[in-house]
Amino acid sequence: MLKEEWKRMEHIVGKANLEVFSDTLTELAQNDTDIIAVTSDSRGSGKLNSFAEAFPDRVVEVGIAEQNLVGMAAGLASAGKKVFAVSPASFLSARSLEQIKNDVCYSDNPVNLIGISAGVSYGALGSTHHSLHDIAALRAIHNITIISPADNFETREAIKASAALCHPVYIRFGKRPVPQLYKEDAEFTLGRANTVLDGDDVAFIANGETVHEAVLAAEGLKVHGLHCRVISMHTVKPLDKEAILDTAKFCRAIVTVEEHSVHGGLGEAVAGVLLQAGLNLPFRIVGIPDEYTVSGNQQDIFSHYGISAEGLEKTVLELLHQSI
């Protein structure tokens, strides 16, 4: 098990992905006057202060009015602006769902919807502020790309790609600084998963801030003679079906990991690919079960629901034992 604290410091810790989002947006805006940010009283929590200082005339503040946020963003996008609409994920994907469906996706307005403090990032504020439904809700809507970056590299590349895509996009971010998972020569393509660690025993397919927990679990499982593959499925829609099917052919079991409800998220998306391809192998979905979440910080909640490295190790050992 991963009991030594240094294990958690083995990877270099970078910035919070939200900070990298703001830095990247500011860099892109230097050469693109069409980039504009719209926020719902989220300039500070969305880390947009530096962007606002550099481009004060390119920030629109609508106040705590998420439906107006999305409607205005869609209108600006229809006029040729490259809009980044920033709001807490829990509210953006619930209060504004109709506007996302109709004003953005149905009308094909290229709005970049930025869901901040996603998953259980709000910690002790509880279920009202946790965003565990956003991927499930948006997966059911046509004409939107859904992204959950794992680290600063994926965040930077996702923002650059989405700015150039001219297509509705939803990107969810947590709050905490995240370890860096890639070397300098890494590549990133929307819709194509990245292999963070290679192995042929068990595969973790994860996204967002759970990818690092999967990496730590893979390192811990080496003492059991297991070589685990860790895949960052940063794009949930469109899903990289080829990567999933390739993993199923070469690994003995698959465990999906997500900071989201087990209903309608990454795990069920992966399961659908496997079942429709006629593939049957030991499989588990690790996420938040169908209940109101316990209160605590993000790591406490991860530990409670088995999303932590230790919990993932336990899941793999139990899964392989059952499959013998």
Residue 37 β-bridge partners: 59, 84
Query: Is 191-323 in CATH node 3.40.50.920?
Result: yes
pLDDT at 311 over 60: yes
Nearest Cα residue to 119 out of 266, 274, 319? 266
Q: Express each pLDDT in 2-24 by its tens digit.
A: 334 434 445 578 899 999 999 99
CA distance 144 to 113: 10
- CB of 25 within 8 A of CB of 84? yes
Q: Express each pLDDT in 176-186 by its tens digit.
A: 999 999 977 78
Beta sheet of 145-147, edge-to-edge order: 59-61, 35-39, 82-88, 111-116, 169-172, 145-147, 235-237
pLDDT at 98 over 50: yes
Within 13 Å of residue 249, how many CA atoms lie on the same side as its CB? 7
Residue identified by tokens 């990991």 is 257
Q: Express each pLDDT in 63-91 by its tens digit.
A: 999 999 999 999 999 999 999 999 999 99
44 or 51, higher pLDDT: 51
220: left (phi over 0), alpha (psi -120 to 50) or beta: alpha
Which pair of structure tokens corresponds to residue 134? 């956003």
- CB of 167 within 8 A of CB of 190? no
pTM of the entire predicted model? 0.94
Q: What percent of the chain has pLDDT over 90?
A: 87
CA distance 113 to 121: 18
pLDDT at 107 over 50: yes
Asked, colleague to colleague, whether 13-179 and 191-323 share their fold, the answer is yes
Looking at residue 41, what is its pLDDT?
85
Domain range summary for the chain, segments of one domain joined by +: 13-179, 191-323
Looking at residue 45, what is its pLDDT?
79
Which pair of structure tokens corresponds to residue 61? 């503040």
Looking at residue 108, what is its pLDDT?
97
CB neighbourhood size of 252 (10 A): 15
Q: What is the CATH number of domain 13-179?
A: 3.40.50.970
